[in-house]
Structure 1
Amino acid sequence: MELTTPTKLEFYDQMLKLQSKAILVHYFKGDDGRKALILDNTIFHPQGGGQPSDTGFICVTDSNLRFCVQDVRSKDGVVFHYGVAEDSSMENELEQGKGKEVILQVDESRRRLNSRLHSAGHLLDVCMRNVGFGHLEPGKGYHFPDGPFVEYKGTVPLNELQNKQREIEIEVNALISKGGKVNATVLPYREAAELCGGSLPDYIHPGSNPRIIKLGDNPGCPCGGTHVSDVSEILSMKVSQIRTKKGMTKVFYTIGT
């Protein structure tokens, strides 16, 4: 199966939107046996960038058919909504449904938790710089509920990191208490770099237009994920552990409930 038209990512511009409409492009069963829907646009965030996927439902307009979305993935710009029809006897409606309108409903509690965890990871980057660890380059983040962390390229003596652990935590919670609106904007490369403190990671092509997340008054950062509407929604953060090994430093954290 070849699909060349990318799925429009509505959450890029409207991170708080939890319900929307789309057109069904394709329904199929993959080689792994999983069934999936492809739409012309989506508010479902696919797993990636250290953030788990959204879950929820997709319903065919003017029908009783509900497709339970259990996992969402993206490949070559096309978003695949994996799941099952609540009533398997109605699957033929999906098979013959190309061009039909569908209604998307994202699970709100899961989206909010994922957005809080992801936003907290970016705020941790800010605070690492603020306490004197600006030479540590942010690497991958793992913003899943079972053990979120941010990994940094570079090391610092472990005793120095541990001595700073409480300072990092105090700094983060001070920014959370202060709050600040969170915005996502797609910008030309030069403008994006200025908003991010003067430079962007090497993986972002100089001719591209990256999406930049701005958390309050703090420097921006390139990111394709979903985030809170205000920094205060993170509630609180605890730096639970810091590890350094083989040229990498990992900072583990949890957020308040």
Structure 2
Amino acid sequence: MEMDNSPTKLDYHDDMWNLQSTATLVSHLKGDNGRHVLILDRTIFYPQGGGQPADTGFIRIHGLDVKFLVHDVRSKDGIVLHYGFFEGFGEEFETMPEKGKEVSLFVDENRRKLNSRLHSAGHLLDICLPKIGLGHLEPGKAYHFSDGPWVEYKGVIPQNEMQNKQKELELEANALISMGGKVFVDILPYDEAATLCGGILPNYVSKESTPRIVRIGDNPGCPCGGTHVLDLSDITKIKVSQIRSRKGLTKIYYNIES
């Protein structure tokens, strides 16, 4: 399918808790699997990526008495694709909304809140590791889907220390949650971003870029494009369910409780 080449403005980067907004329709396409695709000039919907699942919700096209149910959101070459169906029509909806139509966006609040808490909890574990003597572990992958969140680190924990470290990590994380701490998000020049992240940024961050940096309280920041809680206390409580170390990697499995 052909797409407009203009990148989508990511409004959730500026305000992660604006769950209703307006935008302009750029394209209405039909995907290979029968789903409809809406492309907008801007969006508050988070597209799946960085180990975080996509937002869901719905979009109303002004002038048409139908609701577009957003089931999935993806990003391709800077363009955000909103996948879904028109309520009551499924694949049969054939009316092509005109380019330039104004639309209203509504993000599912409960899903955004859950994903933001899970995502922020992963960052919290990064902060806690040096505090319990695991500062040698280097952050790697993170997978924050609600049915199995985990974070992966380069480095291992000796088997005889694993159970104690699991308990210590959970206690440290929940102690920080109980104290609270504001979450700050800034898009900064490379050198300023590096300073906030302890003097260095990962190799995948271009030195010509202006990375988006997330900081929790007074702790060092990290580059991240996801959504987060407003305050550490919003995570409520974290449960570290398991730690596994093998082949030079450590996986920490966790979940959050209400």
- TM-score range relative to shorter protein: over 0.9
Kept in 1, the 8 Å contact 2:4–2:27? The answer is no
RMSD of the TM alignment (CA)? 1.4
Q: What CA distance in whole angstroms lies between the structure 2 residues aligned with 1:17 and 1:242? A: 36
The secondary structure found in structure 2 opposite 1:91 is coil
Residue 217 of structure 2 aligns with an amino acid whose one-letter code is G
| 1:120 maps to 2:128 | no
Q: What CA distance in whole angstroms lies between the structure 1 residues aligned with 2:69 and 2:30? A: 15
Q: Tell me the residue number matched to 1:11.
A: 12
| 1:178 maps to 2:179 | yes
User: 1:153 Cα deviation (Å)?
Assistant: 1.1
Q: Tell me the residue number matched to 2:143.
A: 142
Q: What CA distance in whole angstroms lies between the structure 2 residues aligned with 1:203 and 1:52? A: 21
Kept in 1, the 8 Å contact 2:58–2:67? The answer is yes
Residue 110 of structure 1 aligns with an amino acid whose one-letter code is R
User: 1:2 Cα deviation (Å)?
Assistant: 4.1
Higher mean C-alpha displacement, 49-58 vs 201-210: 201-210
User: 1:168 Cα deviation (Å)?
Assistant: 0.8
The secondary structure found in structure 2 opposite 1:159 is helix
Q: What CA distance in whole angstroms lies between the structure 2 residues aligned with 1:138 and 1:162? A: 20
Q: What CA distance in whole angstroms lies between the structure 1 residues aligned with 2:24 and 2:89? A: 21
The secondary structure found in structure 2 opposite 1:6 is coil
User: 1:77 Cα deviation (Å)?
Assistant: 0.3
Q: What CA distance in whole angstroms lies between the structure 1 residues aligned with 2:156 and 2:241? A: 18
User: 1:118 Cα deviation (Å)?
Assistant: 0.2
User: 1:199 Cα deviation (Å)?
Assistant: 1.1
**Structure 1 gap ranges (5+):** none
Kept in 1, the 8 Å contact 2:56–2:72? The answer is yes
Q: What CA distance in whole angstroms lies between the structure 2 residues aligned with 1:187 and 1:142? A: 25
| Misfit runs of 4+, over 3 Å | 89-93
Q: What CA distance in whole angstroms lies between the structure 2 residues aligned with 1:6 and 1:123? A: 31
Residue 59 of structure 2 aligns with an amino acid whose one-letter code is I
Q: Tell me the residue number matched to 2:50.
A: 49
- Count of residue pairs the alignment pairs up: 256
| 1:91 maps to 2:93 | yes
The secondary structure found in structure 2 opposite 1:212 is strand
Q: What CA distance in whole angstroms lies between the structure 2 residues aligned with 1:109 and 1:81? A: 19
User: 1:6 Cα deviation (Å)?
Assistant: 0.5
Q: Tell me the residue number matched to 2:112.
A: 111
Residue 119 of structure 1 aligns with an amino acid whose one-letter code is S
User: 1:207 Cα deviation (Å)?
Assistant: 1.9
Q: How do residues 44-83 of structure 1 correspond to structure 2 at under 5 angstroms?
A: 44-83=45-84
**Structure 2 gap ranges (5+):** none
Distance change >3 Å, CA 253–CA 171, structure 1 → 2: same
Q: What CA distance in whole angstroms lies between the structure 1 residues aligned with 2:94 and 2:166? A: 56
Q: How do residues 240-255 of structure 1 correspond to structure 2 at under 5 angstroms?
A: 240-255=241-256
User: 1:224 Cα deviation (Å)?
Assistant: 0.2
Q: What CA distance in whole angstroms lies between the structure 1 residues aligned with 2:129 and 2:71? A: 35
Partner deviation per Cα, 1:139-191 (whole Å, 9 max, x = no partner): 11111110100000111212223221111111101110111111211011111
Q: How do residues 158-197 of structure 1 correspond to structure 2 at under 5 angstroms?
A: 158-197=159-198
TM-score after normalising by structure 2: 0.96
TM-score after normalising by structure 1: 0.96
Q: What CA distance in whole angstroms lies between the structure 1 residues aligned with 2:31 and 2:239? A: 41
Q: What CA distance in whole angstroms lies between the structure 1 residues aligned with 2:4 and 2:159? A: 49
Q: Tell me the residue number matched to 1:209.
A: 210
Residue 118 of structure 2 aligns with an amino acid whose one-letter code is L
Partner deviation per Cα, 1:172-226 (whole Å, 9 max, x = no partner): 0111011111121101111111111111111111221110011112211110000
